[in-house]
Structures are given as C-alpha cells and as structure tokens.
Structure 1
Amino acid sequence: MTFRLSAVASALTLAGILPMIAQTASADTAESDLSGLERITILGSAAAVDELPGSGYYMNAEELARFDFTDIHRALAQVPGVYVLEEDGYGLRANIGMRGTGTSRSDKITVMEDGVLAAPAPYASPAAYYFPTFGRIQALEVIKGGASVAYGPRTTGGVLNLVSRSIPTTDLAGQLQAAAGSDGYGKMHGWIGGSSDRFGAVIEGYRQQADGFKELPNGADTGFYKNDFLMKAAALLDAAGNHRLHVKLKYSDEVSDETYLGLTAADYESTPYRRYGASQLDQMMTEHRQYQLGYDWTLSSGSTLRATAYRNEFDRNWYKVSSVNGESLGGGAEAIASAFDANPQGSLELNVKANNRAYLSEGIQAQFEQALGAHRLVFGARVHEDEMDRFQWNDVWQLNANYSAQLLSAGVPGTDSNRIDSAEALAVFGQAFLNFGDLNIDMGLRYEDIDTLRRDWGKTNPGRDTTPTQRANSTSEVLPALGLTYRLSDALVLIGGVQKGFAPAAPGNTEQENEESVNWEVGARYRSGAVSGEVIGFLSDYDNMHGNCTAAQGCDLNAIDTQFNAGEVRVQGLEVLGEYGLTFAQSELILGASATFTDSEFKNSFNSSLGTWGSVAVGDELPYQADTQVQLSARYLLGAWELNAQARYIGDMRTQAGQGEPDAAQRIDARTVVDLTLTYAIDQRQQVRAGIDNAFDETYMVTRTNGGIQVGKPRTAFVQYNYRF
C-alpha cells in the first residue's frame, strides 16, 4: 500500500465518502445551533458510561477543577485499570498504560485530543514526548475493551481522549485564573469567547511555570515553563444548521530543565531532592503546532457525516548528559550518578547529546452514522501519514571541581543519529449497535493497513547527500470486537466483551512481529440513588508482546530503538469503582473509591537488552506494574465551602522482570500520597482555592529506569483565584 494524502483525499471526496473520524459522534452534531459543534467526544457524559458495552470513565470540567489538576498522572489515579509512572513530578512527560500494556511514554495506548491522534508520530514513533497541556483540558475520557475498536492503531489496552475548550453558547463568556505556590510555581490561564446564531469562537491562553523542587549544587533552576494558546471558530453554513464548519489552531512551547540522571540508593536516602552537577546542562525545548479543519453534515435521513483534516508539527531537542567519563547512563547508572561527588577535586568529561527530532503527523478522517430505529450503524476511516526526523549530535564538556562547565568540543548536527522513520496508514472500521430491549450488542470490525520506512544516512553524512540505507515494513490486520450489556433491573447492568488487540512493529525492525492479543472482560454496573459501583474482571492474553528499547526504559545506548518480541504474556486483573453520597441538613458528603488488582506472567524465556526486562524466565512478572492500586476520595460541601481529599495508594512494584520478592535494588516501595483542596465561592463569579499536593510530605521514588533513582514531588502548596463571566 503506497499513497499520498492529497490523492486519496481527492478520490474519496469525489466518491462522497470522506474518510471518517474514528470516534462515535455525540448527539450534539444533530443540533441546529453551535452547541458542542467543535467539542469532539467519545462518551460526552458520565451517564453515557452506563450504556457502554465495556469499561469506560468520564471526568468532566467540574471534577478536574476540584484538585485543579495540571498533572495527567494525578487525574488518572482515580481511573481503575490505568497505570501511571511519574517522572518529573509535574506531568510534563506522560507515562500511561492500561491493563498491563506498559507505561513508558504512553507508547502502548491510543492518546487523542478532540478525537485526533495526539502522539507526535503515532505510527512511526509512538513514544509521546509531547502530551497535550493538561491544565487547559475540559474533560477526560477513557475507553477500554471492545468499545475501543473504533480507535487505533494501538487497541490492546485502551484509549485516552482529552477534550479541549468548547465554544461558549452565550453571547460572551470567559474566565481568568491566577495561581502561585511552592518552588516558584505560577499559573495564568484565561479564555474568552461567545456565539451568535451562526458563528462562534473562543481563544485561550495558558502559562505554567516552576523553579523545580530538586537542587543542583550550582543553585540553577530544575523547573520549567510552558505556554499554550488555542483558537477555535465554528460556523453554520445554512439556516437549518445542516452544514457546519469548524477550525482549531493551537500552539505550545516548553523549556524544562529535566534530566534522566537520578540518584544512588545511598544519596536518595540522605538527600532525596538533590541533583548531581553532571546534569546541570540538561534541558528540553519543544514547540508544537496544530491545525484542524472540520465539516459536519446532517442529512435529511437523520444520518450524520463528520470529516476532519488535521496536521500536527512537533519539534523537540532534549539536550541531556548521556555518558560520564565514557560510561553511559543506561549501562551503569548507579556507578556514574555520583562519580563527580566521589572525586570532588577532579573533573569529569560529560558527553551531552542533543536529542534533536522533528515530527509530523497529518491526515483526514471521517465518520458516518445512521440510526435504524432502535439500532445504530457507524462506519469510519482514516488516511494518515507521520514521520520522525532524527538529526542529532554530541557535545563534549568538562565539569570542574567548582561545578563550572567548559565546552571541550561542539558536535556537528547529524553526526549522531541521522535518519527519518515514516509511516503511511489506512484504517477502516464499522460498528453496529443493536438494541433488543434489555440486551444491547456492540459488534465492531477494524482494519489497519500500514507501511513503514526507515531511511538512515548514518553518522558520517550530515548533509544527507548520498542514498540512505532503507528498511521497509508492510502489515495489515483485521481486528474484530464484540461487547454486550444486559439490564437485569433498573439499577443493575451486566457487561462483557472480547476483542483482538494490536500494535504494529516499529519501522526498521524487519524481523519483528506485530503485537497481538485477545482481550476479555466481564463485570457489572450498579446505580441506584446516591450509590453507584462497577466491578470488571479483565484478561489480556498476548500471542506476542512488544518491548520498545528507549532511553526512558533504561536501555544501553547501543540498543536504543530496538524492539523485542516477548512472545506469550498473560495479564489479568480486577477493576473496582464506587461512589456513595450522604446528604445532611445543610451539607453533602460524597465518598468515592477505585481499585485495580493485577497479576501478570511471561509465558516464554528469552534474553533482551531492554533494561526493565533483561533475562526473562517463564513465570516472571512484568516490571513497573503494581499488583495493587487503591484511590479513596471524599468531597464535603457546606454552603460556599468545598473540601476535597484524595489518597492514592500504589503497592510495591518490581523494576525488572522476575519472580518472588525482589531485592531492594530492583523494587519501588509502596506509598500513599494525599492531596487536599479547599475552595470558597466568594460569589457566583469568583472563587478562591487553596491546595496541598502530597499533604503528608511522603518521600517516595517513582522510577529507576534510567540514570538512577528519580523521586516524586514533595509537599507543595498553591493558592488560586478564579473569575468567570
């Protein structure tokens, strides 16, 4: 399969079947005003989860605001079946997994914003070093199980869709937030917009920054700043509202003084928030640009067609130390992490790599939906291209006894990694939602056809003026799914489903097999008055699981970008979710809980260079996956006051595949972290909110994957003022 987007788009347009957006249209599309026009959701509301033939979770703007979530990891802690691996403490680099997929850089799940793939190159290089600025997100949606068949390319674990600011339906509305807190934390966030009968628009600006909670010996910042700007506009093209056009433009940039270089165990115990002087040059710089144009058409039959063209551009350069005195971080993290401190009168030679990459992701997607009485049919397709252009180099620095750094030699751009990985993909899906009274059946089928290509100019041709070596892969896959719900009573619904999971082999890995699995789930939902709950058991049975060797995974530099086949793996578990509300004379108390219990097992023995796997034996457990996760929450409302508390418990987890009780060097201990917020409504337009993250100042490690131990964020506080009109 070889094609270009422009040619395919023209052909499909002439055929009248523009490729469909891979998501279920909300009822808003049929409205004749601008309400919800550009708000592209999967579920659309928490109530819709009750009818979902599979596991789902919806978090609206009110829930996100209770803790003023700006870190996706903290928000997802209350979603069962989702695993997160903190890294920098602020959520700048998201590590999210679902049902045992692995968490590194969220590369094993499908991440979208407004129904459009959000990863910089979701087919060619899915590791998400870019993640949408979570502080501006208005709703969060998680889909797991058979209902995720409409999304891809990675369908094993599930789908995360982030919903951005919607256009207000009033003449004029807006909001301003200003926050300040510990470690130089600051945030400014504002938006303004409105609608007339036929036109609406909104603009939004967001700025977040902090000096960081870690300490370098030279006193330099270890924090970040991030800017994000969004503009949306929508128009009804006819008086009846049958034809609608919407535009979305977004720009963001970030500078963060983050590193992979962590601490030795001894230094973590004595001074957990220090950073070694060898990491003082480390800095990530990014820019992201997004362009979207959408068209909605409501036909006379009541069916709907929604088409979206999109383009995402992402540039990043993470300038970070990769070796100290010739020893790479991945090859000897504990040994090199304190090398300078062990020889304070000497000097170190630092190899600092400019991990410079440019990403492009673009495509056209569309969806057609038709109601047939109590039943509904949805068809969709997406034509997509993406690429990652690596043009990297190494600088050599000398770090002296007084922590001053001197440049010894500047590298030439393109003399380290110098290649382009690209992909072209066609995805088509169909779903039938059949209603037979108390029984609902969701049958789905997805087809993925993918071509990938790696062009490598090596390390001696930065001008790219000779023919590169090329390695190409082609793959196609048919992915069926079946989901059922049966309503036993007004309060109790049984659910179950089965689907085929899939993730394509990476470009350049010609001997790798696709990741394939069969995923089962069965459970029940209960909702009656102030009581609601859900219990779902899941089983992910892999024929072949992938392991992707990245610096974030603790791989040696010589093995970076290698993909490993793990063969058969089984992951099974139980997801529990519940809420109970109590109403008193003048107040209200809502208690919530969620839990995930997981068991995993490799079914094959093999050796790999993947730092978190290593030498694997039959029966070994997956690393970086706690057996037990529990979240408890309480919300208390009294007049103008609102108090929210959230406690997150994550059990012990091993840092390398193995069996039995891991030793201290291959274990991350269990922890409980409590967050608190107190909100006072001055009037209908003004609020003041104060919050404390990690209220009991728990010291805990989050990862050992690269360069030693990284530590979680300590107790931090903030105060915020909100004004809305």
Structure 2
Amino acid sequence: MRHTVFPLAAAAIAVLASFNALAEQADSDRGLEIITIFGDADAIKTTAGSASFIGPETLEKFDYTDVMRVLTQVPGVYVSEEEGYGLRPNIGMRGAPASRNEKITVMEDGILVAPAPYASPAAYYFPTIGRMEAVEVFKGTSAVRYGPRTTGGVLNMVSRRIPKENAASVNLAYGSDDYLKAHGWAGGGSEQLSGLVEWFHYQADGFKTVNGINDEAGFKKDDVMLKLKSQSLPGAAIYQETEFKFHYANEDSDETYLGLTDADYRADPYQRYSASQKDNMDTERYGYQLNHYARLSDSLEWNSAIYYNEFSRNWYKTSGGLVDEAAAFDKDPAGSTPMEVAVKANNRDYTAWGIQTQARQQLGDHALTFGVRYHEDEMDRFQWVDTYELGADQRMRLIEAGIPGTDSNRIESADAWSGFIAAELVFGALQVDAGVRYEHVETLREDWGKEDPSRSGDPALRENTTDGVMPALGFTYLLGDEWVVLAGVQKGFAPPSPGNNEAEEEESWNYEAGVRFDNGLLSAELIGFISDYDNLHGNCTAAQGCDEDKIGDQENAGEFEVQGLELSADLRPELAGLIWPMGVRYTLSQTEFQNAYVSEIWGDVEVGDEMPYVPEHQLQLTAGVEGDHWDLNLLGRYQSDIRTQAGVGSIPTGELIPSRWVMDLSAHYRIDDRQKISITVDNVLDETYIATRVHGGIQTGKPRSAILGYQFDF
C-alpha cells in the first residue's frame, strides 16, 4: 500500500495548491471552515436527527483533558473508562457497545482519524481532547454523509482554527498525583497567508501504586500541531483557501490490563500487582492533511482534502488472565514459588491515507450535496513474548527474550470507495433531508503465523469484498419560532473486517422521532430511537479476554435491538445580577439479543439477553453561577448498574459494575482581560468505584483530584 501513497499524494497536493495561484484576484469576506460539520450550536436547530455541538465555552468550563468527561454531556453516548485519564476511551452510541470506539465513526477536522478505520476498527488511538476547540456529535439520518460506520453515530473533533488576528495563549496547570499540563499556541498572519503552531503536554504520576516496588503508574503525552493557510486576494472571481495541517503525538504510559480481584479491590482499590510492573504503552503518530476550498459561484461551493496518517504502538503488557495468580503471589511473595510471567510486546504499525471531495449546490431554498472518498489503511502486527521471573523481592527479571514475529505476525489491509448524495428540500416550515450512501470495501488478511518471523513463506490469505447502500430520510417541521418536530429513518452499515470469516456486513434500520424547543431562556430536546440490527458485529480483542488465537476475529452476532430515549435541557435564568446556568442530560437504553449463540466477547448469549457495558440509565446534572469576572460550576454524573456479560434480570456479583454518582467542581476567576486562574476538582466527593471489568479484573476509577490552572492570553 505504502508505495502508492506518495506519488498520488504529491500529485494531488500540487494540483490543489495551484488553485490559489490560478485564481483571478477577487473579493471575499469569508471562507468556509471545512473542518467543521455544524460550525456552531445554532446550526443544530434544524438538523434532521440527533445532534450536539460542544463549543469552546463549554470545553473551558471544566478544562477537561479526559474526553470521557466531555462526552457525558451528550445524551445517547456511553463512555467506559480504563486508566482514569482518558488516554484510551471506549465510546459507544445508542446501544452500540463502548469498546475501543469500534462501533462509531471518529474524525478530526472532518477526516477519519482511527489508525485503520476499515481494516482494524478496534485499534487504540484517540485525539487529545485538551487541544480541541469544539466537539460535534450526530446520530441518525445526518450520518449518511459520513462512514464507514453509520448505525451508532459520528464524532468529529475540531482542532484549533487559525485566528483572524495575531494572538497567542499559555495555559499551565498543576495538581494531584503530580499532574502537570503545559499548553501553548500562537497564530495569525496577513490577509492572504496565516498560520498556527500549538503544543500540548500533560503528564501525571498516576493514582495507582505497584505492590512491592512502590512504583507509581503514570504517563506522559505530547501533541504538536502546525497549520498554514493561504487564501485569495481581494477582487477575485473565485474565492479559494488552501490549508496544510501537520500533527505529531507521542505517549509513554505505564498502563496495564491486569486488574484486581474483588477482595483486593475492597482491601486497596488503588494497588497494582507486582506482575504488572513492566507494563508500558509507547506510541507515536504523524498526521498530514491538505484542505482546499473554492466558492465557484454565489450558490456553488467545493471542498477537498488529502490525508496521510502513520501510527505506531507497542503495548508491552502482562496478560489480564493472570489476575488470580498475581493476586495470590502478592499476598505472600516470600513464601511463594517464584512466578513466571509472560509479557507480550503488542507491537503494531498502522498507515491510513485517502482523498475526499464534496460539492454543495444551493438551488433557491433547497440544497444538493454530493461527495466521494477513496481510502486505504493497513495494520501490521509483528509481536513477540518475553518471559520474566517474579521473585520474592517482587522484582521481575528477564529469563528469556522473545524473537520478534514469533507471536501474532500478520498484515491486515483495506481499500474502500465511498460516496453519497444528500438533498435538503425546504417547503416553508417543512424541511426534508434525503440521502443515500454507498460503500465498496475490499479487505485482506496476510498471516505468516508464529513459525515464519522472516515472512519468507507464503502467508495464509483471507479476503472479503463488501458493498453497502444506505438510504436515509429525515424531516423537521417548525411550529412557530420555538418548537421543532423531527423524525427520520436510515439504514446503518459497517463493513466486515479482515477477521470476519463469513464476510458479513453489519446492517440495521434505525428510527428516531422527537421535538426541540428554544425560547432563548430554555432550550430542550427529547428524542426516541430504535435501532433494529439484522446482523451485529463484535470485534474480539485482548481487552475483552478473547483467546489468543481469536484476537482480531470479528463475530456476526445476528439480530439485536436497541430502543431508548435521549433528553437534554438547558436553562440560563438571571437573578440578583448573576447568571444561574443549569442543565440536564438523560439517556434510557434498553438492549436485547434476539438469537442465541456462544460468544467469545459477550459470553453465552440467550434470546432476550441485554448487551454488556450499556447502562440502562445515564443522568447528568449541571448547575452554576456566573458573575462579571468569575464563575462556579458543579456537575454530577449518574450511571445505573452495568452487567459485564450478556444476561437478563439480577446481575451476579462477579459480573456487576454497581451504579454510581460522580461529581466534579470547577471555578474560574478572570484577573483582567488577559489573565485567568482556575480550580477544578474531579470526583469531588472521592467516590470509590469500579470503572471496568473488561480485562478479567477490576480497574478502579480515578479518585478525587484537584488541579490549579493559570492562563495568559497575548
């Protein structure tokens, strides 16, 4: 795949970059920000389907660097924690399981951002939320424009845009567990040439301590972004913009799958077994993106993008299946026989590149949009296992180094063509949104097995070819100036991965209906939804405890149904010269498997069983007070009991994640027009809770942590 990338990309870049030079000199007072989908919250009011826009003011309110805490503000979204800092979030929508974001489409600036969204949908990578300017979430009929996964929903992260005037900012923070954040950016330029550079660094020692050696389990992560933009001079017949974006990120985190037994969780929830002391995640990512926008006439706009991403990771970790053995050893290390520990180097390299273009034609009150994308991605697994001895001093010593390529040793790749056409038809108070999406996907697995680390022989091959057609139809109807009624139906789709033996795509029919209300003081939305799957995919991962020879395989779970409600409401009354903002977000989710089968992922499934890791009830309440130079905000999140294996009725203790309330607090004081100080406290009541059991043991949620911040704007 890689040999095709650079000639094609270089040629396309040259063509796109030449547009500005060829344009006649002309006038424009604006350019389309093609990296956003909605652009702002007002655009959502007439959107067919559920949609949420989290803008800069909301993101700054709690200054989160954990995307989980951001996305709980969106009804219909579920996030499962892992390590407490949001480094590897698990996000699901509308009953789709929250496992490594494999059931949703994740983008940054309108571009697919997963390491291999077609070939390896369950891969770990997520953009750093702390450097984002906005977050856009949409579900239902509007997802027809984006793919490849359209059933659950689409998440678009919007990076910082180049400022129109010269500006810069520095944001520093320090807090519990030696948490440190340093974030700075500077940008600006002339009317025709401008740029932005941004650096985001954060780290912490972590809130867990490794038994015996008293090492803390922390992380360090860096993000660097550069943007350069040129735009037409005043007076041109065709206004154009070309923007280049470069992104680099790395991470070094001492994280593990080796959770705790129930007894050890009760004794000390923030301990880690000594057998996990070598566990470490090391990642590096390079991303390149070139955007071009042209306004060809007053009614016709055209934008295109080329992108290329590389992501490498090695999660060097002890098997999560050793929980009981590791727990027993740590209870009496001096009296135990030295323990042999296998630590696997989960080494993987990913590449993804593509080119996409879309045009929008305004036809009076109506509009027609169409787009095309070609995409290739690849995952290269080249892994090995090292063997250590864990002695009475609780130190691990290498006794046998593995040979690279003698464990998982395969390449999985995908080529995909996709396209869509969408019409927005306006008939007075009625807007009809109709569209159809097409996906053609070819996947290939080349497996050399564990006996051919040099890859000199012929690999075992597995090939899949899939075509999907996804129609969508939505309606919005304005009842006066304050009420909007909406309804829609769409076909959901996800292509099979190379690990799907039967090459069956995921298909569903999704229905929604609801109302919106906005009178300036109160805004609210209530939507009911049903997702009816003909075939549900499940991706087998080490995180879910799958057998070694099953990891990377994809299950076809058959028929499955989700129904639920999404409610959001915000009120901003003024009293005694102060603003008192308050809000509520609620999600009801009811899931049901409709056929029985034995699953490597969800256990022994019976008809009527509920989906694991999908809470029936989620509730978030916010309340605050705002003065001229200060604000104080409180946020509370409730999650009902969660089952970790498919089932119905009462949940066995060993498969239960109990319900919980977690509350966060933030306060800001603006010293002057340029300076601001902040205090945030996550989990202010210091609730001890189980975050997940997905790795075979208990992972504990983050305890109370306080952070003091200072920001200076230039």
Asked whether the two chains share a fold, i.e. TM above 0.5, the reply is yes
Cα offset, 1:34, TM superposition? 6.8
The within-5 A match list for 1:362-511 is 362-511=353-502
Q: Provide, for residues 177-213 of structure 1, a one-character-per-residue CA deviation record: whole Å limited to 9, x for no partner.
A: 0100000100000000113110110000011000000
Cα offset, 1:489, TM superposition? 1.7
- CA distance, structure 1, for counterparts of residue 668 and residue 686 of structure 2: 21
Corresponding residue of 1:722? 711
Cα offset, 1:457, TM superposition? 1.1
Corresponding residue of 1:698? 687
Cα contact 2:226–2:245 (8 A) shared by 1: yes
Corresponding residue of 2:288? 291
1:312 to 2:306 alignment? no
Cα offset, 1:236, TM superposition? 1.2
Cα contact 1:262–1:706 (8 A) shared by 2: yes
Residue from 627, 635, 648 that aligns with 1:638: 627
Identity of aligned residues (%): 51
The CA RMSD measured in Å over matched residues stands at 2.0
1:201 to 2:195 alignment? yes
- CA distance, structure 1, for counterparts of residue 405 and residue 221 of structure 2: 28
- CA distance, structure 2, for counterparts of residue 507 and residue 444 of structure 1: 29
Q: What SS does the aligned partner of 2:58 have?
A: helix
Cα offset, 1:237, TM superposition? 4.0
Residue from 172, 183, 186 that aligns with 1:178: 172
Cα offset, 1:513, TM superposition? 1.3
Q: Provide, for residues 379-410 of structure 1, a one-character-per-residue CA deviation record: whole Å limited to 9, x for no partner.
A: 00110000000000000000111111110000
- CA distance, structure 2, for counterparts of residue 397 and residue 13 of structure 1: 50
Cα offset, 1:533, TM superposition? 0.6
Cα offset, 1:12, TM superposition? 10
Change in Cα spacing, 1:378 to 1:700, as seen in structure 2 (3 Å) is: same
Change in Cα spacing, 1:184 to 1:399, as seen in structure 2 (3 Å) is: same
Residue from 664, 684, 687 that aligns with 2:676: 687
- CA distance, structure 2, for counterparts of residue 9 and residue 321 of structure 1: 40
Residue from 676, 685, 702 that aligns with 1:713: 702
Cα offset, 1:42, TM superposition? 0.8
Give the AA of the match of 2:647. G
- CA distance, structure 2, for counterparts of residue 356 and residue 195 of structure 1: 42
Q: Provide, for residues 665-704 of structure 1, a one-character-per-residue CA deviation record: whole Å limited to 9, x for no partner.
A: 1110000000001100000110000010000000000111
Change in Cα spacing, 1:17 to 1:573, as seen in structure 2 (3 Å) is: farther
The within-5 A match list for 1:622-633 is 622-633=611-622
The within-5 A match list for 1:111-150 is 111-150=106-145
Corresponding residue of 1:215? 209
Q: Provide, for residues 116-154 of structure 1, a one-character-per-residue CA deviation record: whole Å limited to 9, x for no partner.
A: 001000000012411101110110000000001000000
Give the AA of the match of 2:562. V
Residue from 259, 263, 266 that aligns with 1:262: 259
Residue from 44, 55, 62 that aligns with 2:57: 62
Cα offset, 1:343, TM superposition? 4.8
- CA distance, structure 1, for counterparts of residue 138 and residue 249 of structure 2: 27
Residue from 46, 51, 76 that aligns with 1:51: 46
1:227 to 2:216 alignment? no
Cα contact 1:93–1:131 (8 A) shared by 2: yes
Cα offset, 1:628, TM superposition? 0.3
Cα offset, 1:257, TM superposition? 0.3
Give the AA of the match of 2:441. I
- CA distance, structure 1, for counterparts of residue 300 and residue 623 of structure 2: 43
The within-5 A match list for 1:315-330 is 315-322=312-319, 329-330=320-321
Cα contact 2:13–2:290 (8 A) shared by 1: no
Corresponding residue of 2:243? 246
- CA distance, structure 2, for counterparts of residue 511 and residue 85 of structure 1: 29
TM-score by length of 2: 0.95
Q: Provide, for residues 557-599 of structure 1, a one-character-per-residue CA deviation record: whole Å limited to 9, x for no partner.
A: 2321221111111100000000111102321101100000111
The within-5 A match list for 1:597-676 is 597-610=588-601, 613-676=602-665
- CA distance, structure 1, for counterparts of residue 454 and residue 549 of structure 2: 23
Corresponding residue of 2:23? none
- CA distance, structure 1, for counterparts of residue 42 and residue 298 of structure 2: 27
- CA distance, structure 1, for counterparts of residue 382 and residue 37 of structure 2: 37
1:532 to 2:526 alignment? no
- CA distance, structure 2, for counterparts of residue 335 and residue 662 of structure 1: 25
Corresponding residue of 1:279? 276
Give the AA of the match of 2:405. G
Q: Provide, for residues 328-348 of structure 1, a one-character-per-residue CA deviation record: whole Å limited to 9, x for no partner.
A: x34x64455444435543311
Q: What SS does the aligned partner of 2:100 have?
A: helix
Give the AA of the match of 1:124. A
Corresponding residue of 1:105? 100
Corresponding residue of 1:542? 533
Structure 1 stretches of 5 or more lacking a match? 19-29, 323-328
Give the AA of the match of 1:501. G
Cα contact 1:512–1:564 (8 A) shared by 2: no
Give the AA of the match of 1:127. A
Cα contact 2:410–2:449 (8 A) shared by 1: yes
- CA distance, structure 1, for counterparts of residue 507 and residue 11 of structure 2: 32
Q: Provide, for residues 16-47 of structure 1, a one-character-per-residue CA deviation record: whole Å limited to 9, x for no partner.
A: 999xxxxxxxxxxx99357664x610111111
- CA distance, structure 1, for counterparts of residue 16 and residue 168 of structure 2: 38
Give the AA of the match of 1:242. Y
Cα offset, 1:649, TM superposition? 0.3
TM-score by length of 1: 0.94
Q: What SS does the aligned partner of 1:278 have?
A: helix
Cα contact 1:124–1:386 (8 A) shared by 2: yes
Give the AA of the match of 2:76. G
- CA distance, structure 1, for counterparts of residue 452 and residue 539 of structure 2: 27
Q: Provide, for residues 474-499 of structure 1, a one-character-per-residue CA deviation record: whole Å limited to 9, x for no partner.
A: 00110000111001121110001000
Give the AA of the match of 1:168. P
Cα contact 1:167–1:195 (8 A) shared by 2: no
Q: What SS does the aligned partner of 1:105 have?
A: coil
